Amino acid sequence: MAELPWRVPTRAESRRPIWLTTLLVIAGQTWVARSLALRPVWIFPALSTALLVASIAVFERAHGPGRLSRALSYAFAAVLVSANAASLVLLVEGVFIGSRLGAVGLLTTGLALWVADVAVFALLYWELDGGGVESRAAGEPGR
């Protein structure tokens, strides 16, 4: 009997493109925070960068995934989601109460926030899908 496709072990997807994408998300979130006057501007980028560096270090040292690597990935995603939520609150406040940004500035900031949000949730879904990257590579059945 042939092995089911999702049970055939494969190599895990590379995390390097994800790390590069998250650097772009952090840069975008920093620009949005600066545009919306989120204070202190450095707090979310500093936390995100620290968790990203820790995640890379743990992943590379272990030569693969592990529980600590997954926990750091979830913490990293939580910080990115929190930064987007805080920026969204300021954007909505700027739209309804007023902002130093004009209409075009608010639209541009909203577009950048939307792109960052899509990227963050794509990262989160990629991590969670089917038990995660490592579970898919090991051929474990998905949830």
* pTM: predicted TM-score of the whole model, two decimal places: 0.74
pLDDT digits over 90-136, tens only? 889 888 888 788 888 889 988 999 999 999 888 888 777 755 666 66
Give every CB contact of residue 97 below 8 A, 6+ residues apart in sequence.
Answer: none
Q: Domain locations in the chain?
A: 12-129
Question: Does 44 have pLDDT greater than 90?
Answer: no
Calpha distance 132→105 (Å, rounded):
38
pLDDT digits over 46-86, tens only? 998 898 888 888 877 766 666 787 788 888 889 999 999 99
